[in-house]
Amino acid sequence: MSDNKFPSEVIDLPSEGRLYPKDHPLKDGKIEIKYMTAKEEDILTSQNLIKKGLVVDKLLDSLILTQGVKSDDLILGDKNAVMVAARILAYGPEYTCQVTHPTTGGVSTQIFNLAECPFKKLPKDAKENLFEVTLPISKRKIKFSLLTGKDERLIDEELKASKKVGAVAPELTTRLRYLIKEVDGDNSQSVINEISQNILSRDSMHLREEIKKVTPDIIMEQEIDLGGESVKVDIPMTVNFFWPNSWR
């Protein structure tokens, strides 16, 4: 625990720390965060940060106590878990929101227990943030790394720049460019750019499935009763997640 004057908790990460470099502060698979205060609520209500899409990053940076760690450093699945933990510490595990029935389309208000959301763990043989897959059609061997908070921020900035000039936002190809680290042993940016743009659709689908398979995360879905029927639904991240009704 740190010497911070505010109460804090050490929480586990879905990655168990296995995707971070050897001497990284998160290598033990844990991170310390403090309870939210009025200072963090100021961050949440900052219209400037809201417009820039930086609210969650600034909030997490203010809450993380583990030395040498920022939200940018976190693997995205770990970042999601820290965000949920921060919300639980701030306002409790109960989260009320509206959900849509997956088959009937009916909308109802439900209460979820965020503390019951389990982790999706890494494959047992994963030791670093570098994975290999052979594409089924082209047979090219791809090495890829899971995205961090920094990668996600840079991707968002590129996509926003594309929209400003009226171009079609190249979301998939941009993400592939950040994910892919090597193609048939070649890690040059020109080769990575080429395959990101021209990968066959079936190869792209297979690659995305492999990425999803190895990605650690917190599972934001629960089984609830909807009209007498037990249904598994995704927990929607609505405005109420960090902005309680009492604020509006």
DSSP the chain: ----SS-EEEEE-TTTTTTS-TT-TTTTSEEEEEPP-HHHHHHHT-HHHHHHT-HHHHHHHHHB-STT--GGGSBHHHHHHHHHHHHHHHH-SEEEEEEE-TTT--EEEEEEEGGGPPEEPPPTT--SS-EEEE-TTT--EEEE---BHHHHHHHHHHHHHHHHTT----HHHHHHHHHEEEETTB--HHHHHHHHHH--HHHHHHHHHHHHHH--EE--EEEEEETTEEEEEE----TTTTS-GGG-
Whether residue 1 is contained in a domain is answered as no
Domain that holds residue 64: 8-120+217-247
What tens digit of pLDDT does each residue of 106-145 get?
Answer: 788 889 999 999 999 999 999 899 999 999 999 999 999 9
Query: Do 232 and 110 form a contact (C-beta atoms < 8 A)?
Result: no
**What does the alpha-carbon distance between residue 66 and residue 71 come to, in Å, rounded to a whole number?**
11
61, pLDDT greater than 90:
yes
Residue 36 shares a structural domain with residue 95: yes
Residue 92 shares a structural domain with residue 172: no
Query: Do 65 and 34 form a contact (C-beta atoms < 8 A)?
Result: yes
Instruction: Report the largest interatomic distance among the alpha carbons of the chain, rounded to a whole angstrom.
Output: 57
The confidence score (pLDDT) of residue 4 equals 61
Average pLDDT, the chain: 90
173, pLDDT greater than 80:
yes
81, pLDDT greater than 50:
yes
**What does the alpha-carbon distance between residue 107 and residue 15 come to, in Å, rounded to a whole number?**
34
Whether residue 171 is contained in a domain is answered as yes
Whether residue 126 is contained in a domain is answered as no
104, pLDDT greater than 80:
no
Mean per-residue pLDDT for 52-61? 90
Token pair for 90: 């701030």
**What does the alpha-carbon distance between residue 26 and residue 118 come to, in Å, rounded to a whole number?**
20
Residue 14 neighbours by CB distance under 10 Å: 24
The confidence score (pLDDT) of residue 248 equals 45
Residue percentage of the chain with pLDDT more than 70: 95
Residue 158 shares a structural domain with residue 56: no
The confidence score (pLDDT) of residue 24 equals 96
Residue 192 shares a structural domain with residue 226: no
Q: How confident is the model at residue 99 (pLDDT cuts 50, 70, 90)?
A: confident
Mean per-residue pLDDT for 8-34? 96
Whether residue 2 is contained in a domain is answered as no
Residue 113 shares a structural domain with residue 142: no
User: Number of structural domains, the chain?
Assistant: 2
186, pLDDT greater than 70:
yes
Q: Give backbone dihedrals phi and psi of 22, rounded to 5 degrees, phi first.
A: -50, -45
Residue 36 shares a structural domain with residue 111: yes
**What does the alpha-carbon distance between residue 131 and residue 211 come to, in Å, rounded to a whole number?**
9
The confidence score (pLDDT) of residue 167 equals 67
Query: Do 176 and 196 form a contact (C-beta atoms < 8 A)?
Result: yes
Whether residue 3 is contained in a domain is answered as no
Query: Do 151 and 75 form a contact (C-beta atoms < 8 A)?
Result: no
Residue 173 shares a structural domain with residue 233: no
More confident residue, 123 or 231: 123
Residue 223 shares a structural domain with residue 204: no
Residue 232 shares a structural domain with residue 165: no
| 77 membership: H or E segment, kind and range | helix 76-91
Beta bridge partners of 95: 112
Residue 26 shares a structural domain with residue 82: yes
The confidence score (pLDDT) of residue 1 equals 46
- 3-state secondary structure (DSSP) of residue 110: strand
Residue 88 shares a structural domain with residue 198: no
The confidence score (pLDDT) of residue 145 equals 98
Least trusted range by pLDDT, from 11-20, 26-35, 151-160: 151-160
Residue 196 shares a structural domain with residue 227: no
Whether residue 240 is contained in a domain is answered as yes
The confidence score (pLDDT) of residue 160 equals 86
